[in-house]
Amino acid sequence: MEPQVVDRPEKSRYEILAGDDGSESADRAETAGFAEYVLSEGEIAFTHTETDPRFAGRGLGGRLARGALDDARARGLRVLPYCPFIRGWIGKHHEYTDLVPEARRAQFGL
């Protein structure tokens, strides 16, 4: 199974699902990482991102960030990257800077 990013609003987080053993089977997928958020009035504030060390080195953190930010864009949400990982990822992928309100970019070093 190709890793996939899913929104879990009941947990206030995006999760990336992947197989630990590299299998293609969907029933073996597990949560390899997550990005927690707080949603309010047209904004999504990312507060913490974490990946399971067993999945290190597979680029899943970047896939998680891209998937979460793409979903935020599709939903028309402004992004507040309090999480250092999400903030750093946006800093390296300038095509996502526009998601952060211009008046708040300096606060996040963007």
What is the tally of structural domains in the chain?
Answer: 1
- Residue 77 sits at φ, ψ, to 5 deg, of -90, 145
pTM of the model as a whole: 0.90
- Residue 38 sits at φ, ψ, to 5 deg, of -120, 125
The DSSP-derived string for 28-53 is GEEEEEEEEEEEETTEEEEEEEEE-G
- Alpha helices in the chain, H assignment, sequence order: 60-74, 84-92
Amino acid 31 reads T
* pLDDT (average), residues 58-63: 95
**pLDDT, the chain, mean:** 92
Q: Is the model more confident about 24 or about 34?
A: 34
Beta strand 43-51 pairing with 78-81: parallel
**What is d(CA 86, CA 70) in angstroms, rounded to the nearest whole number?**
13
Q: Quick check: 35 pLDDT over 60?
A: yes
Which residues form the domain of 63? 4-108
Domain with 38 in it: what CATH number?
A: 3.40.630.30
- pLDDT score, position 23: 46
Q: Quick check: 95 pLDDT over 80?
A: yes
**What is d(CA 20, CA 75) in angstroms, rounded to the nearest whole number?**
31
